[in-house]
Amino acid sequence: MYDVAIIGTGAAGISAALTLQSRGKSILLLGKRELSAKMTLAEEIRNYPGLGFVSGKQMQEGFINHLAQMNIGIVQKHVTEIAKTGDSFKILCGQETFDACSVILATGVSSLKTYEGEERLLGKGVSYCATCDGFLYKDQPIAVVCTSKDFEGEIEYLEQTCSKIYLVANYKNPKQFSDKVSMISGKNIRISGNEYVEMIQNDTNEYDVKAVFILRDNIAPSSMIKNLQTENGHIAINRMCETNITGCYAAGDCTGRPYQYVKAAGEGNVAAHSVLEYLSETGYKGNAKTRPYKKYPLSFDDAIDVTDLSNMPTDQTIDDLVRFRLTNGEVEFVEKDVCEKGDIVTITVKGGVGRYNRENIRVTIGQNLYDYEAENKLVGKRTGETISVLKDSEITITIHGIQTPVSKELTDEMVRALNNPAVTTLNQYYQMVKQEAQQAELDLITYHVLSEIHEQTPTTETPEEVIVRLGELEKEFFDKLFAQQMGKGILSMNEEELKKNLGVSTVDEFIASRRDWYQMKYNQLLGLSKAMNIELTDEFDYMNKYEVLMNLQTMAAEKIKNRVLGGMSHG
């Protein structure tokens, strides 16, 4: 967990990062490595103290150099949601999640307007992340509003999941997708539905859909974080840059005019000092380290340095996991009168949006209700009390019972009941669970390290004819395989058989898909070998020695394991 996550790499975000780094706090700086695109377009900036007359490009270079001198790295991820869970924040970047004790929003001001119905139906069919929520709409019709080619991979994922896609492509030269995808006009887009998305409309037609995925670089802060207060389209803050959400601060253009770099930098500094005071008063402290600034291309050790290593299991997390497994999650309960965080409360929830129409729920305060305002209001209440929480409409919560969970004492007999001859004592079981948990986290770390390396552009590209030849070789292999299994090969399959067995309609489509796959594998092979300083000879046969890539990945995983566990006091 980081001390603070800073969302945005404009003047406000960078100013906050520099201040917090100088005070020894761990920072997760999320944004674009090239910083603000608008900054580079400025012909001349005159009012930034100490710089004189500079262009936006010169200011950008100065900011980047300053980050490098302070050893602050930028994590180039697209933030889709921020959720406050208990006393900390979860920052969701697609399927990847980061944890922080506090947050500074420095997202800048976006010229993009939300669509009619977007904010009202957010989380009820409107989503900003296809890979997170696409599976919810398997074999159902959806719509996608996309603003950049960078998101075409998410559309391809939805192609494999949903029955029909109506695509609004608000950018030039979109790729040709399958017949599942129909391009529609993006004029006067409106999203409608009662409790959930039912339809998307434009100026010419209306389409029945179950969800609308809006894939854009910038997300309105009010959509990004639940219950954030805004005024006239900007985040509402006080003089200390505090928002209405405890632990969340905002700075820069996202808080309102004037839209100037000097104002943004000043607010970034104020927000940073507010975070310092907040962390000092609460005693919260993250266990992550600020990701060091690294110039690309990365060496293998560089890639490890810019990867989050802070989630390795601790003795406390292992103890919690062992207790849960050995007791099957069972605990003894002591009845009490007043709610505190961590209590199990039996409640009735009525009213509000559809998902809160539930009765007789057992909820662990701070974890399960998914309405943090309601959770906070439960604390201090007594059995039999009724409270109301104003949301989209009023929610009424009636408390029926309050119990404090008491953990059962763990014994060797519980371990022996698992019937594992190799593990018969509590201490042995702890060690086994610890190794399993560490290995799971190491696998995730390895994935992130390799991802950092694979994202780098290789210095040379595979000749097109080599990739095509590999596709042909694989086609021949599959042709023989299906000839053995089915008595006929790819070349003699009709369209229906090809779709059933290969997911394509033509042999040419199959070759094209494999060409992309081999390009990806080649980039992985080249990037990983270069990062690990292993030279591949010109005679390397990419088809028949594919296991070399697997060997490289195994070597990488072992190196990461030694590096990480070697530095763990509890590892």
Domain covering 331-407 assigned CATH 2.60.120.380 in the classification = no
Mean pLDDT of 67-76: 92
Question: In 10 A of CB 375, how many CB atoms?
Answer: 22
For the ranges 148-152, 334-338, 489-493, the lowest mean pLDDT is seen at: 489-493
Average pLDDT of the chain, as a whole number? 82
For the ranges 96-105, 469-478, 487-496, the lowest mean pLDDT is seen at: 469-478
Helices (H), 43-146: 56-69, 130-133
Mean pLDDT of 28-47: 82
**b/e burial code for range 196-212 (CB count within 10 A of at least 16 → b):** ebbbbbbeeeebebbbb
Does 302 or 466 have the greater pLDDT score? 302
* Phi, psi dihedral angles at 540 (to 5 degrees): -60, 130
Domains of the chain: which residue ranges?
Answer: 2-110+221-293, 126-215, 331-407, 457-570
Alpha carbon distance 352, 373 (integer Å): 13
3-state secondary structure of 43: coil
**Could you tell me what percent of the chain has a pLDDT over 70?**
82
- Kindly report the length of the chain: 571
Residue (of 292, 296, 320) closest to 306 by Cα position: 292
Type of residue numbered 406 = V
Band (pLDDT 50/70/90 cuts) for residue 271 is very high
The DSSP letter of residue 364 is: E
Mean pLDDT of 529-554: 70
Alpha carbon distance 395, 329 (integer Å): 30
| Residue pLDDT, tens place only, 78-131 | 888 898 887 899 998 877 788 999 999 999 876 567 788 888 888 788 888 787
Does 63 or 45 have the greater pLDDT score? 63
Classify 241 in phi/psi space as left (phi over 0), alpha (psi -120 to 50) or beta.
left
Q: Token pair for residue 544?
A: 């028949």
Alpha carbon distance 225, 155 (integer Å): 24
Cα end-to-end span (Å), the chain: 18
305 CB burial (10 A radius; 0-12, 13-18, 19+) = buried
Res 72: pLDDT? 94
Is residue 28 within 8 Å of 20, Cβ to Cβ?
no
Residue (of 209, 202, 198) closest to 188 by Cα position: 202
Domain covering 126-215 assigned CATH 3.40.710.10 in the classification = no
| Residue pLDDT, tens place only, 346-392 | 887 776 554 444 445 556 665 555 555 667 778 888 998 888 876 55
Alpha carbon distance 268, 106 (integer Å): 8
The most confident of 54-63, 255-264, 359-368, 421-430, by mean pLDDT: 421-430
Res 478: pLDDT? 64
Question: In 10 A of CB 227, how many CB atoms?
Answer: 13
Res 571: pLDDT? 37
Type of residue numbered 142 = I
Q: Under CATH, which number does the domain 2-110+221-293 receive? A: 3.50.50.60
The most confident of 134-148, 232-246, 304-318, 371-385, by mean pLDDT: 232-246
457 CB burial (10 A radius; 0-12, 13-18, 19+) = exposed
Do the domains spanning 126-215 and 331-407 agree at the CATH topology level? no
Q: Which residues contact 430 (CB under 8 A, 6 or more apart)?
A: 318, 319, 322
The DSSP letter of residue 535 is: P
**b/e burial code for range 465-492 (CB count within 10 A of at least 16 → b):** eebeebbeebbeebbeebeeeeeebbee
Mean pLDDT of 514-526: 70
**b/e burial code for range 174-194 (CB count within 10 A of at least 16 → b):** beebeeebeebebeebebebe
Res 531: pLDDT? 82
